[in-house]
Chains A and B, each alone.
Chain A
Amino acid sequence: MAAVLGDDRMSGTSSAGSTPGTTGSASGGASSLAAVALQEQTPVLRPSTTTWRQALRRDWRLYSLVVLPLAFFLVFRYLPMLGNVIAFRRFRPGGSIFGDEWVGLRYVELFINDPLFWNVFRNTLVLGTLTLLIAFPMPIVLALLLNELRSRKFKRFVQTVSYLPHFMSIVIVAGMVLQLTSTQGTINQLVQLVGGDSIPFMQQAEWFRTVYITSEVWQTVGWGTILYLAALTQVDENLYEAARIDGANRWKQTWHVTLPGIRPTMITLLILNIGTFMAVGFEKILLLYNPLLYPTADVISTYLYRVGILSSNFSYAAAIGLFEAIIGLTLILSANAISRRAAGTSLW
């Protein structure tokens, strides 16, 4: 017991940074949580002097805290990653979760030659791009507008209200969208008010993208301002002072001081958004769409849900899912690399 206590004391001292094995204090000054958290995952590695045996003896209590979470990651995150081999193996329900026999690229060829696949691939790209172009910049605009308010009370009121949709279940959001866009819903009442004919929005494929992006903005714009507002409070007041002395008006101050000030936040969030590009609103689309809307609404994730879960073509759907995940990973890695080179800001 005494020896164990001694060991714990040792670990106490080493966390103060006095043993050679420790790294320096966390890098500060980063402007977003993700950036802070991710930058730290690659600390400056100094040659470690402790062996595993020593580390285990000293920190076994800490390692014991890691066991269950690690089991979680291995079982529910990494095992499914390995499970993707069924994209290349024949899978029989009830058989091995890793499939029964190799079939090579059969399923990959199958979807590459599937015209339906290329339609959902295109829809995914279109909806992803529209989200990045429209839904991503909106919180920046809203944050800038909020930042110009003088009344603290009014500012807090707008913030409180605009965060609300973020807390709603996507099922409720979808229900609201369906009611608002129905033939007797508010939007069609407005259409009729200006003399138009009522439009069956949820039966016409050409309207789906508008409906999707509008509801996306509605749900995300308020909550998205939080990190920008935090970054805005960190912009150095002296820079505004200097800009004013140089004769910059309010607009020029925003353009030349405010925006560059929140640029690292913008880039970090952009990279994270690019990372989820391929997964565009799977749950929302699943709740909103119907066969009439497939030409524009069906995306890779919803297609593979129908093919895999509803029609039990597990291997085929897994091949599509793997393809989607690899594109997603490639996108975020390249976005990060480009941003690091071009803007000097990156996640890691």
Chain B
Amino acid sequence: MVTLADPDRATRRLAQVPAPRTLKDTRGYRAFRVVNVTILLLVVAVVLYPFVNIIAQSFSSEGAITSGQVNLVPRGFNIETYRVVMSDSMFWLNYRNTVVYTVVATAIAMVLTTSFAYAISKKHLKGRPVLIGIAVFTMFFNGGLIPNYVLINELGMTNTMWAIVLPNAISVFNLLVMKAFFENLPEELEEAASIDGLTTYGIFFRIVLPLSKAVIATMVLFYAVTFWNSWFTAFLYLDRAELYPVTVYLRNMIAGATTATSMGSSADDAAQVAANIQAVTMVLTLLPIVSLYPFIQKYFVSGVMLGSVKG
């Protein structure tokens, strides 16, 4: 059971290749395997292409992009746009906002999710089915956009960080993953701790949490990536540019609301520099995630499987 805490184990299990089902493959099956590898290579190419294309565009001249010459490699090599975007103070301000929102929101989310998950993982707790029901029902029915908007306004959270970090603090999916994890911890440990005189708080902080480092790391990543990527709550509840996260900065640029004028170019070529500047901003926005991705990917996979592999 505790082996679930090891994301490597879970990933290895996922990667297991079934033993060959026949001693000698038929001709048809050998042909299929060639086709199969070809299809999968094609899938890889199609998935990667948009990334390569964006990177190539970000290093190209605008002229080369508008005349349709940029695909896999940069044409009319140009790093001036990187300089322009990176010297835009609003871009960095919004980038910093993203970092702050992500850190605060993830911290709040973890405190709420962990404590609730631990309580509802205790089968003897009276009222437990009701508590679980309250959480799960919100997966299938929610108040909807308008009542939420009215509520956030009424609470005075518009144009504050709280509108971003509070309304989505608990993901029920993550909650259920943590609950399943806590349920799988050996009960004997907690019993022993309670006989040694630890209270529920002591057990929770000194026994359970240290044993749950792997699942906590996974959940932190789940939340952090979600908050890092989110844009709509910020778009909905923030009107002041200096509060925007970088996703809203990018969205406004794509929608044409941020003119290139603010970035040191004249209004005349605003439309023209668009594609190149967009590409640069996209690359700068996706860079942190893409560079962390190889290291965090396995935690995500194990997180999704934490509940499913049990038993």
A169 interface residue, CB < 8 Å from B?
A: yes
Which residues 18-36 of B sit at the A interface, judged by CB distance below 8 A? 18-22, 26, 28-29, 32-33, 36
A171-203 near B? 1/0 per residue, CB < 8 Å: 110111011101011101100100000000000
The answer to whether B116 touches A69 (Cβ under 8 A) is yes
B144 interface residue, CB < 8 Å from A?
A: yes
Task: From A30, A149, A174, give the contact of B40 (CB < 8 A).
Answer: A149
B232 interface residue, CB < 8 Å from A?
A: yes
Which residues 139-194 of B sit at the A interface, judged by CB distance below 8 A? 139-151, 154, 166-170, 173, 176-177, 179-180, 183, 187-188, 190-191, 193-194
When distances are taken between beta carbons in the complex, the residues of chain A under 8 Å from B141 are 81, 325, 328-329
- In angstroms, Cα B135 to Cα A59, docked, is 20
The answer to whether A179 touches B68 (Cβ under 8 A) is no
Known interface pairs A240-B21, A332-B140. Does A188 touch B308 (Cβ–Cβ under 8 Å)? Answer: no
Within the complex, the shortest CB–CB distance from B98 to chain A, in Å, comes to: 10
When distances are taken between beta carbons in the complex, the residues of chain B under 8 Å from A116 are none
When distances are taken between beta carbons in the complex, the residues of chain A under 8 Å from B197 are 5
Chain A residue with the shortest CB-CB distance to B167: A76
When distances are taken between beta carbons in the complex, the residues of chain A under 8 Å from B309 are 230
- In angstroms, Cα B301 to Cα A156, docked, is 12
B257 interface residue, CB < 8 Å from A?
A: no
Within the complex, the shortest CB–CB distance from A237 to chain B, in Å, comes to: 7
The answer to whether A157 touches B44 (Cβ under 8 A) is yes
The answer to whether A62 touches B119 (Cβ under 8 A) is yes
Task: From A11, A142, A156, A322, give the contact of B15 (CB < 8 A).
Answer: A156
B258 interface residue, CB < 8 Å from A?
A: no
By size class, the interface of chain A is: 35 or more
Which residues 24-66 of B sit at the A interface, judged by CB distance below 8 A? 26, 28-29, 32-33, 36-37, 39-40, 43-44, 46-51, 53-54, 57, 65-66
Chain B residue with the shortest CB-CB distance to A61: B200
A63 interface residue, CB < 8 Å from B?
A: yes
The answer to whether A37 touches B176 (Cβ under 8 A) is yes
A337 interface residue, CB < 8 Å from B?
A: no
The answer to whether A19 touches B50 (Cβ under 8 A) is no
A206 interface residue, CB < 8 Å from B?
A: no
Within the complex, the shortest CB–CB distance from A248 to chain B, in Å, comes to: 10
- In angstroms, Cα B142 to Cα A321, docked, is 10
A301 interface residue, CB < 8 Å from B?
A: yes
Which residues 248-306 of B sit at the A interface, judged by CB distance below 8 A? 250-251, 254-255, 275, 278-279, 282, 285-286, 289-290, 293-294, 297, 300-301, 304-306
A273 interface residue, CB < 8 Å from B?
A: no
Task: From A8, A48, A159, give the contact of B199 (CB < 8 A).
Answer: A8
When distances are taken between beta carbons in the complex, the residues of chain A under 8 Å from B17 are 149-152, 155
Chain B residue with the shortest CB-CB distance to A4: B199
Which residues 226-255 of A sit at the B interface, judged by CB distance below 8 A? 226-227, 229-233, 237, 240, 244, 249-250, 253
- In angstroms, Cα B29 to Cα A323, docked, is 51
B217 interface residue, CB < 8 Å from A?
A: no
Number of interface residues of B (CB under 8 A): 128
Task: From A8, A155, A304, give the contact of B146 (CB < 8 A).
Answer: A304
The answer to whether B250 touches A175 (Cβ under 8 A) is yes
Task: From B33, B145, B308, give the contact of A148 (CB < 8 A).
Answer: B33
The answer to whether A167 touches B67 (Cβ under 8 A) is no
A260 interface residue, CB < 8 Å from B?
A: no
Please name 20 pairs of A and B residues whose Cβ atoms are closer than 8 Å in the assembled complex, sorted by A: A32-B308, A77-B138, A82-B147, A83-B150, A161-B48, A162-B44, A169-B228, A172-B285, A175-B250, A180-B50, A180-B53, A188-B68, A221-B43, A222-B47, A230-B309, A232-B18, A301-B145, A304-B145, A308-B149, A317-B146
- Known pairs A287-B251, A332-B140 / 9 extra A-B pairs, C-beta < 8 Å: A8-B198, A37-B179, A66-B119, A84-B147, A154-B40, A167-B293, A184-B65, A240-B21, A250-B26
A contact set with B: CB distance below 8 Å: 4-5, 8-9, 11-17, 19, 21-23, 26, 28-34, 36-38, 40-43, 45, 48, 50, 52, 55, 59, 61-63, 65-66, 68-70, 72-73, 75-84, 86, 91, 97, 142, 145-152, 154-165, 167-172, 174-176, 178-180, 182, 184-186, 188-189, 192, 218, 221-222, 226-227, 229-233, 237, 240, 244, 249-250, 253, 275, 283, 286-287, 301, 304-305, 308-309, 314, 317-318, 321-322, 324-325, 328-329, 332
B contact set with A: CB distance below 8 Å: 13-22, 26, 28-29, 32-33, 36-37, 39-40, 43-44, 46-51, 53-54, 57, 65-68, 71, 111-113, 115-116, 118-120, 122-127, 129, 131-136, 138-151, 154, 166-170, 173, 176-177, 179-180, 183, 187-188, 190-191, 193-195, 197-201, 204, 225, 228-232, 236, 247, 250-251, 254-255, 275, 278-279, 282, 285-286, 289-290, 293-294, 297, 300-301, 304-311
